[in-house]
Amino acid sequence: MSIVQSLSEIVGPSHVLTGADCARWASDWTGGYQAQPLAVVRPASRDEVSAILRLASQHRLPVVPVSGNTGLVGGGLADGAVMLSVERMNRIRDIRPDARIATVEAGVVVAALDAAAEEHGLTFPLSFGAAGSAMIGGVLSTNAGGANVLRYGNTRDLCLGLEVVLADGRVLDLMTALHKNNSGLDLRNLMIGAEGQLGIITAAVMKLHPRPVQQATAMVAMSSLDRAPDLLNALQDASGGAVVAFEFMPRSFIEGHLAVIPDAREPFDAPHPVNLLVEMAATRDSGLSDVMEQVLSDWMEREEVTDAVIAQNEAQRREMWARREAAAEIAFHRKPFIDTDIAVPLNRVADYLRDIEPLLRAIDPDCSGLSVAHLGDGNIHYTCFPSRDDRQLKSALRAQIDQLAIEMGGTFSAEHGVGLSKLAPMARFKDPVALEMMRAVKQAFDPLGILNPGKTLPARN
């Protein structure tokens, strides 16, 4: 019996796709990674996932899990492999408002979970541009971040329990709803961010939070980024820690938005080099708009804030957020491009953006760059546009972007995962002992090396 026939017996023939029917899964979101899977299999339950992995283990078949296929680092590349899509595993098993938790399957879309939570006056606060298509299994496997990390943390901080199918088909049941559990090694956190290298996440217990009833959102202009962290601290102090997002968009980003997005508008009457999107939120009426207005007025009197527009209604708020959430469309409309995902300490963001461009132009005098940042947590999405599509040139530019982040006490990988695109910096910058421990963990969980092979961990020299 062929592998395809065996898979069909597990999930049904209509849920095993081959050849041209795999086109939707043959490329990542950026279009930079393309592959032809052996088959795409779409299980509907944990038990079907278990049977698929028992079959794969028996035949030593590589298996690559995929959720919403919104990744940016090649983590879902599946050339000649079985691609396991969790899209049919999309049930919200229950929501418990009293405990503020939801038990969900891996194929639940992030925005769908938030909409279900809203019916109970709650929110699932993971917020980023792909929330309408990204799924819980994917955001857990990459420990996704987004705009609200400042208040709610990364995906890891929003997860209490996991259900994981291991490479040999055994089920690892970590589906606890406990906030405290010191009973041995924390296998849950080991699985989160592992990019499917250690097991396939099939369900999770996720935290919910009270849904804000009041929001104050503003576009803020400054002449320099250096004082932006101090503005964040002033807003936090005045509001009692109510800031949920503090996003940075330079003038080049605004110009890109105007050029790429139909009907886009300037955020202010005049252009400014530093444009910030600031949002505060509260679960009760606490005069946030007045607090924001007072802080911004004080800073404008000192000429440290040069302009500010506070949203007066939900339509204006959504327009502000639409500008920030168009980042991927703006960054990827030009080719060739190098997409990076670095982070530095908050007080070094301005230094990084000031220093990186001359370093890159020393390598490629005609290159250009585009940045946007989750300024509240130091995460910079820096897109470099090299002057030509040359692999060695792109490698040198990416290495410089990563190198400067490391020199400033940062990281080359903040929230998108490692996948394929960051294997070189993993080999270059990651502590060698840490890499050896990671390989040992991989060997323990997946001795045959069938789970998402070739990703995350660089080959030994």
The answer to whether position 445 is within a domain reads no
pLDDT tens, 238-263?
A: 999 999 999 999 999 999 999 999 99
Same domain? 226 vs 306: yes
pLDDT tens, 82-117?
A: 999 999 999 999 999 999 999 999 999 999 999 999
> What local confidence, expressed as pLDDT, does residue 70 receive?
85
Task: Give the structural domain span for 373.
Answer: 334-421
Q: Which two tokens stand for residue 305?
A: 């804030």
Same domain? 158 vs 81: no
User: End of a domain among 85, 107, 137?
Assistant: 85
Residue 398 has pLDDT above 80, yes or no: yes
Report the domain count for the chain.
Answer: 4
> What local confidence, expressed as pLDDT, does residue 299 receive?
97
Instruction: Band the pLDDT of 129: cuts 50, 70, 90.
Output: confident
Torsion of CA 414, 415, 417, 422, to 10 degrees: -30
> What local confidence, expressed as pLDDT, does residue 461 receive?
75
Same domain? 314 vs 417: no
Same domain? 81 vs 99: no
Could you give the percent of the chain with pLDDT greater than 70?
Answer: 100
Could you give the percent of the chain with pLDDT greater than 90?
Answer: 91
Which residues touch 175 (CB under 8 Å, ≥6 apart)? 103, 161, 162, 163, 203, 204, 205
> What local confidence, expressed as pLDDT, does residue 1 receive?
59
Q: What is the mean pLDDT of residues 185-205?
A: 97
Same domain? 77 vs 100: no
The answer to whether position 124 is within a domain reads yes
Same domain? 170 vs 267: no
Instruction: Band the pLDDT of 226: cuts 50, 70, 90.
Output: very high
The answer to whether position 32 is within a domain reads yes
Same domain? 206 vs 236: no
Same domain? 317 vs 367: no
Q: What is the mean pLDDT of residues 394-404?
A: 97
Same domain? 102 vs 190: yes
pLDDT tens, 7-34?
A: 999 999 999 999 999 999 988 877 778 8
Q: What is the mean pLDDT of the chain?
A: 95
Instruction: Band the pLDDT of 72: cuts 50, 70, 90.
Output: confident
Same domain? 13 vs 121: no
Q: Check which CATH number belongs to the domain holding 44 and give it.
A: 3.30.43.10
User: End of a domain among 296, 325, 354?
Assistant: 325
> What local confidence, expressed as pLDDT, does residue 220 receive?
98
The answer to whether position 365 is within a domain reads yes
Q: Check which CATH number belongs to the domain holding 353 and give it.
A: 3.30.70.2740
Q: Check which CATH number belongs to the domain holding 294 and give it.
A: 3.30.70.2190
258 CB neighbour count, 10 Å cutoff: 14
The answer to whether position 404 is within a domain reads yes
Q: What is the mean pLDDT of residues 33-62?
A: 96
Same domain? 245 vs 176: no
Instruction: Band the pLDDT of 71: cuts 50, 70, 90.
Output: confident
The answer to whether position 431 is within a domain reads no
Q: Check which CATH number belongs to the domain holding 157 and give it.
A: 3.30.465.10
| Contacts made by residues 317-320, CB under 8 angstroms, sequence distance 24+ | 317/215, 317/217, 317/279, 319/265, 320/217, 320/218, 320/219, 320/267, 320/277
Same domain? 236 vs 300: yes
Residue 285 has pLDDT above 90, yes or no: no
